[in-house]
Amino acid sequence: MRAPSFRWHAATSLADAARALAAGGPRALLLGGGTDVVPAIKRRQYVPELLISLRQVAELGRLEPHGASLRIGAGVRLGALAADDRLGVGHTALRRAAGVVASPHIRNVATLGGNLCLDTRCNYYNQSLEWRRAVDYCMKAPAGVALAAPAGGTCWVAPGSPRCWAVSQTDCAPALIALGASVTLVSAEGQRTLPLADLYRDDGMTWLTRRPDELLAWVDVPAAARSTYWKLRRRGSFDFPVLGVAAAVELAGDVVTAARVVLGAVASHPVVVPTESLLGRPLGDDAIAAFAELATRLAKPLDNTDYQLGWRKRVTRAYVVGALRELRGDDPALLGVLARRQAALIPA
């Protein structure tokens, strides 16, 4: 499978990248580590006219304290991030999520920015051109392969639906939203900072609120007293999440004073679960069970990823319970078989 031809620009600075992106128009595509872009262009999910490489942009590779937060450049590689000592216990959810993306080889190249901007995925979309042609394409990847798809076409997962249901399967986004991260986007026009949750849209076709001329420059990540990330996938390596549960809590004694729980891979965007019911009391079994019920109702998986649909919905409850029990300090050995899949939780 060969990549199509494209024009190439190796950006040398953030300003240069922003300028190239603005000048490149709608068929310019940013290249972080390329671990999602390269398979996608081989399959002609998109055919960019211009690729803008961010590899040489030194500003994007920085990782440094910024006030009480950690500022992490979009070009930081996930493998290096997961191993970086500047991520303390306060950033456990991020360290875990970055450390379970894809496989070690991919993490050596994959960037945080690419992970946060990762295209949504679907069994009908992440296929070769020939496969997609054989089913007459779907709405997200129409026949006239382009970067921005025209309106129309069928969603093969929900053929009656006017929208695309491709799934957000980034591991780091739920973890970073749970930690309360904000993201800074830079364009030739200037820059703006927004809560990371606001970067995402509940739409498989246009999954980011990023303007086409903006690039993700860095994220600011506050620390949380306790946080975790639980990932469900068939194999312990390679596979995208079929469910991700990120959770962060602050406790005063054993009373919860703040909590954020985010579900990945159950919708076209990371799903933020309202946590009011957890606040002002300990993480008791009943509170956790009621909360897990609410989270499960918000999870709307469709039959377009690995694993059977009904089970994916049921396992959401078990994962939310497990993650919150871990955060209240339960012995990992007592958390059961699902916990044993969280490699980082159970030391080898």
Ligand X SMILES: Cc1cc2nc3c(=O)[nH]c(=O)nc-3n(C[C@H](O)[C@H](O)[C@H](O)COP(=O)(O)OP(=O)(O)OC[C@H]3O[C@@H](n4cnc5c(N)ncnc54)[C@H](O)[C@@H]3O)c2cc1C
Binding-site ranges for another protein (CB under 8 A): 1-6, 8-12, 16, 19, 31, 34-35, 38-39, 42-43, 51, 53, 55, 79, 102-106, 108-109, 188, 236-238, 348
Q: Which one, 60 or 223, has the nearer CB to another protein?
A: 60
User: Least distance (Å) from ligand X to the CB of residue 329?
Assistant: 28
Q: Which does 312 bind (CB under 5 to 8 A by kind): another protein, ligand X, none?
A: none
Segment interacting with ligand X (CB under 6 A) among 149-157, 166-174, 190-198, 249-257:
166-174
Q: Which one, 1 or 68, has the nearer CB to another protein?
A: 1
| Residue 261 to residue 270: CA distance in whole angstroms | 10
Q: Which does 168 bind (CB under 5 to 8 A by kind): another protein, ligand X, none?
A: none
**Residue whose pair of structure tokens reads 């803008």 in the numeric block:** 52
Question: What letter represents residue 163's amino acid?
Answer: R
Q: Which does 171 bind (CB under 5 to 8 A by kind): ligand X, another protein, none?
A: ligand X
Q: Which of 93, 90, 68, 72 is nearest to 81 (CA)?
A: 72
DSSP state of 330: -
The contacts of residue 7 (CB under 8 Å, 6+ apart) are 49, 50, 51
Segment interacting with ligand X (CB under 6 A) among 194-202, 218-226, 235-243, 294-302:
235-243
115 binds ligand X (CB under 6 A): yes
| Residue 255 to residue 252: CA distance in whole angstroms | 5
Using DSSP's 3-state secondary structure scheme, residue 119 falls into: coil
74 binds ligand X (CB under 6 A): yes
DSSP state of 274: P
Q: Which does 123 bind (CB under 5 to 8 A by kind): another protein, ligand X, none?
A: none
Element (DSSP H or E) covering residue 220? strand 215-221
Q: Which one, 131 or 329, has the nearer CB to ligand X?
A: 131
Angle between helix axes 309-328 and 285-298 (nearest 10 degrees) is 140
Residues 47/129, Cβ–Cβ less than 8 Å: no
119 binds ligand X (CB under 6 A): yes
114 binds ligand X (CB under 6 A): yes
| Residue 71 to residue 65: CA distance in whole angstroms | 6
Which stretches of the chain bind ligand X, using CB under 6 A?
29-37, 39, 54, 74, 78, 101-102, 106, 110-111, 113-115, 117-119, 169-171, 215-216, 238-241
